[in-house]
Chain A
Amino acid sequence: MCKININSTFSEVRHASELLQQFCDKHNVAFETQGQLELMLVEALNNVVEHAYQKQPDGNILIEFLKVENTAVIKITDEGIAVSGTAMVERSNLPNENTLPEGGWGLCLIQALADTIEYFRYADHNTLVLTKSAA
């Protein structure tokens, strides 16, 4: 297992990406899958920075990577505002491309790329667990 604590800023998200790349290299994850895992991770962390911590830079985010047999697991824990309802795990609709949207894709991308998504709300923290086959 591999873990890192970052602050809730977009530049810190980049550090988590770098650690994921090292993790994937160590576990011989295919290049294409590595890119998809990175996109899942970054979109999920961007959501935490933007929504859970409302862009306040001093929030704590714990990120853990593990490989269980042929499955890569990304676990993200934050102490920010929880995602409302079941939005994280329910299938989201893509923004209409003809309206030239400038955002709103993050959740859809995570849902399209991850094999499984679990979201847990505790009294003082939230945990998102994403898995993807990495055979």
Chain B
Amino acid sequence: MKINLQQDNGLTTATLDETRLDASVAPEFKAAMEDIISSGNNQLILDISQLSFMDSSSLGAMVAVLKQIGGTGKMVILGASGTVLELFKLTRMDRIFTLTDDMETAKQYF
């Protein structure tokens, strides 16, 4: 699981360097993100623009990450497109996650 981190004035951008997120790697993704948040990165842009496929078990892992961030932190999902975006919409989780396809817009949420 490759997740590249970039920090700028207290805002962390975690770029998922994978094209596919499914049940075979969802636990690894969840654990990696939990480590990132535990290290104090709770103002977070999660860039998933490289993902071409994601299943519902991975969406569940993202919900767990969102819960860990809690009320004091914030997470914005950047770059969901195609079937990945459709997954958020079909499950109505686009109402729960903050989704954007533009980095400047993502930064304005913080």
- Give chain A's interface residues, CB within 8 Å of chain B: 9-11, 13-14, 17, 31-32, 35-36, 38-39, 42-43, 46, 49, 94-95, 97-98, 100-103, 105-106, 108-109, 112-113
Whether the pair A14, B24 counts as a contact (CB closer than 8 A) is yes
- Minimum CB–CB distance from B66 to chain A (whole Å) comes to 7
Given A14-B22, A46-B23, A97-B92: A102 touches B64 (CB 8 Å cut-off): yes
Besides the known contacts A42-B53, A109-B90, 19 further A-B residue pairs in the complex with CB atoms under 8 A apart: A13-B22, A14-B22, A14-B24, A17-B53, A36-B83, A39-B55, A39-B83, A39-B86, A42-B22, A94-B91, A97-B95, A97-B96, A100-B96, A102-B60, A103-B60, A105-B90, A105-B91, A108-B91, A109-B56
Q: Is the interface of B mostly helix, strand, loop or mixed?
A: helix
Q: Give the contacting residue for A46; candidates B20, B55, B64, B91; CB below 8 A.
A: B55
Q: Could you tell me if B63 and A108 are in contact, using CB atoms closer than 8 angstroms?
A: no
Shortest beta-carbon contacts, A-B, top 7: A35-B83, A102-B60, A10-B24, A10-B23, A105-B56, A11-B24, A97-B92
**How many B residues touch A, CB cutoff 8 Å?**
26
Can you give 17 contacting A-B residue pairs, CB < 8 Å? A9-B24, A10-B23, A13-B24, A14-B22, A14-B24, A36-B86, A42-B22, A42-B53, A46-B23, A46-B57, A95-B91, A97-B93, A97-B96, A100-B67, A103-B60, A105-B91, A106-B56
Residues of B within 8 A of A35 (CB): 52-53, 82-83, 86
Q: For chains A and B in complex, what number of residue pairs have CB atoms within 8 angstroms?
A: 78
Residues of A within 8 A of B22 (CB): 10, 13-14, 17, 42
CA distance A36 to B53 in the complex (A): 10
User: Which residues from A are CB-within-8-Å of B61?
Assistant: 102
